[in-house]
């Protein structure tokens, strides 16, 4: 039996107006695997993540969630997902963690974590509160339930954002540069949480500039260059023995 792909993208093309930024990309995140996306700024990493959870439209190619293809209506720049229920199912099952945390400033940490499971999934408050406290404890900030985001360090805020993503109990977690807004000393506390999640066998698609983390946690690494996959492989081979000049150049510039 082959492992199920929680996320699969086939020959995806995406343009902003006349600017094509994703030029025929195939990528998959099999259940229980961690796939990291690396590449220079502007290479299309964020766009690809956002196309995977349908935060962005794409002009052609397929997007599949757990083997289920997205159904589209329209063509080219008018192509949109056709089925509202499917969009919600996919978005709620692919929880995203952003570079800038995106916590709601007017809500406590506990309220932030509880919000989507209660309002989007319709779960009972009591059940969600218990889970929210468990996930906040898991990421090491169980004592911060009642404070507001501004009272936390960046590393604590990002850990709260990870607890919020986990509380949706998604099929996969999508991270978009989760440590790049953090000071180096705070970066490691977030890296540790991501490592723990990888060790638990969570399915994750991670955009990162942190090559050490990518090497440590990934089953597969994809190097994107100007909207195309330039090189990919297991981290051991890719980082130790890059084949293309572009990846060699990229890696030596990020050392």
Q: In this complex, which beta carbon is closest to Mg ion, that of residue 20 or of residue 196?
A: 20
Tell me the sheet residues that pair with 23: 13
Is residue 42 within the footprint of ligand ADP (CB under 6 A)?
Answer: yes
Tell me the sheet residues that pair with 35: 205, 220
Is residue 47 within the footprint of ligand ADP (CB under 6 A)?
Answer: yes
Local structure of 150: helix, strand or coil: helix
Q: In this complex, which beta carbon is closest to Mg ion, that of residue 95 or of residue 108?
A: 95
Is residue 206 within the footprint of ligand ADP (CB under 6 A)?
Answer: no
Kindly tell me which residue out of 46, 203, 218, 232 binds ligand ADP, with binding defined by CB under 6 A: 46
Length of the chain in residues, anyone? 255
Is residue 46 within the footprint of Mg ion (CB under 5 A)?
Answer: yes
Local structure of 228: helix, strand or coil: strand
Cα 96 from Cα 175, distance rounded (Å): 6
- Whether residue 183 contacts residue 154, with contact meaning beta carbons closer than 8 Å, is answered with yes
Is residue 44 within the footprint of ligand ADP (CB under 6 A)?
Answer: yes
What H or E segment, with its residue span, contains residue 141? Answer: none
User: Strands 220-225, 68-69: parallel, antiparallel or unpaired by DSSP?
Assistant: unpaired
Is residue 15 within the footprint of Mg ion (CB under 5 A)?
Answer: no
Site string for ligand ADP, 3-32 (x = CB under 6 A): -------------x----x-----------
Q: In this complex, which beta carbon is closest to ligand ADP, that of residue 155 or of residue 227?
A: 227
Q: Could you report how far apart the first and last alpha carbons of the chain are, in Å?
A: 39
- Whether residue 116 contacts residue 168, with contact meaning beta carbons closer than 8 Å, is answered with yes
Is residue 45 within the footprint of ligand ADP (CB under 6 A)?
Answer: yes
Q: In this complex, which beta carbon is closest to ligand ADP, that of residue 41 or of residue 255?
A: 41
State the nearest-atom distance from the C-beta of 207 to Mg ion, in Å: 6
Q: Using CB under 6 A, list all residues that contact ligand ADP.
A: 16, 21, 39, 41-47
């Amino acid at each position: 039996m082959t492992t199920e792909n929680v996320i699969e993208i086939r020959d995806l093309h995406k343009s902003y107006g006349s600017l094509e930024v994703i030029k025929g990309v195939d990528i998959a995140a099999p259940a229980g695997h961690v796939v990291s996306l690396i590449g220079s700024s502007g290479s299309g990493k964020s766009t690809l993540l956002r196309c995977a959870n349908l935060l962005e439209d794409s002009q052609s190619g397929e997007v599949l969630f757990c083997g289920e293809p997205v159904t589209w209506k329209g063509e080219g720049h008018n192509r949109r997902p056709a089925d509202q229920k499917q969009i919600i199912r996919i978005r709620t099952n692919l929880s995203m963690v952003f570079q800038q945390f995106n916590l709601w400033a007017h809500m406590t940490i506990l309220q932030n974590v509880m919000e989507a499971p209660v309002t989007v999934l319709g779960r009972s408050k009591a059940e969600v509160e218990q889970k929210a406290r468990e996930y906040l404890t898991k990421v090491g900030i169980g004592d911060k339930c009642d404070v507001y985001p501004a009272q936390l360090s960046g590393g604590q805020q990002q850990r709260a954002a990870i607890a919020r993503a986990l509380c949706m109990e998604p099929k996969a977690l999508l991270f978009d540069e989760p440590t790049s807004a953090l000071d180096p000393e705070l970066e490691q506390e977030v890296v540790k949480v991501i490592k723990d999640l990888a060790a638990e066998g969570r399915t994750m698609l991670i955009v990162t500039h942190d090559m050490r983390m990518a090497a440590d946690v990934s089953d597969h690494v994809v190097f994107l260059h100007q909207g195309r996959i330039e090189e990919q492989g297991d981290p051991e081979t890719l980082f130790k023995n890059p084949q293309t000049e572009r990846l060699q150049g990229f890696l030596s510039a990020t050392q």
